[in-house]
Amino acid sequence: MINLKDAHLKPQPMPDADSDIYWRGIQEGKLLLQHCPACGHVQLYQQAICRECGSERLEHRAASGRAKVHSFSVVHRAPGPAFKQDTPYAVLLVELEEGPRMISSFIGADPSAVTFDMAVELVCEPVGGGVSLPRFRAAGPPA
């Protein structure tokens, strides 16, 4: 159960045997996805087997970082004191170019700018303590 002191702290990633490689990737600025050579399925989050065909031979490859907003929610009332100073902020459900969706948050602009199918790009943002989190900002114009 959460105590008053912990309520002021943001939850930190807790890497385990499956997700350790993912969090190390984020620290290096890469969003690693699991590719299944057997069936072509691409998945996030990391697991021991392919969620599509059950194969245990999975390869990690960095995502392009290009994505679009599948859905979102702008938070005006923080779920707890740790997030109070961040409001308003947009929680995103992004669809990566490679297929998988992921929950993330929007940075770099007013959250009211977020809309459906908006093009966004990955930012691995250091949040202190040697930890980085995968976030998304509005995509720049195509190079």
Partner 1 sequence: MSLPFGLERRRCVWLLLGLAALAGVPQLAAQTAWPSKPVRILVPFPPGGTTDILARAIAPELSKALGQSVVVDNRPGAGGNLGADLVAKSAPDGYTLLMGTVGTHGINKSLYARLPYDPQKDFAPITLVAGVPNVMVMNAERAKALGIAKPVYILGGGECYTHEHIFLMPSLTTTGAVQSSAKAYAMAGCGPKDIDVAGIYDCFTGTVIMMLEDLGFCPKGEGGRFVEDGQITYGGAIPCNTHGGLLSFAHSGMPGSLFHFYEVVNQLRGSCGERQVAGAELGLVHSLGAGFATNATTILGTEATL
Question: What is the contact surface with partner 1 in residues (CB under 8 A)?
Answer: 45, 51, 70-71, 93, 101-103
**Minimal distance, residue 65 CB to partner 1, in Å:** 18
Asked whether the beta carbons of 104 and 94 are under 8 A apart, the reply is yes
**Minimal distance, residue 101 CB to partner 1, in Å:** 6
The helix (run of H) or strand (run of E) holding residue 21 is: helix 20-27
What are the φ and ψ backbone dihedral angles of 81, each rounded to 5 degrees? Answer: -60, -30
SS3 readout for 91-120 = EEEEEECCCCEEEEEECCCCHHHCCCCCEE
Report how far residue 14's alpha carbon sits from residue 83's, in angstroms, rounded to the nearest whole number.
19
Residues in the chain: 143
Please tell me whether residue 6 adopts helix, strand or coil conformation.
helix
Residue 77 or 128: the one with the smaller Cβ distance to partner 1 is 77
**Minimal distance, residue 33 CB to partner 1, in Å:** 13
Q: Map tokens 């990737």 to a residue.
A: 25
**Minimal distance, residue 13 CB to partner 1, in Å:** 15
Residue 116 or 129: the one with the smaller Cβ distance to partner 1 is 116
Residue 91 or 119: the one with the smaller Cβ distance to partner 1 is 91
Residue 15 or 126: the one with the smaller Cβ distance to partner 1 is 15
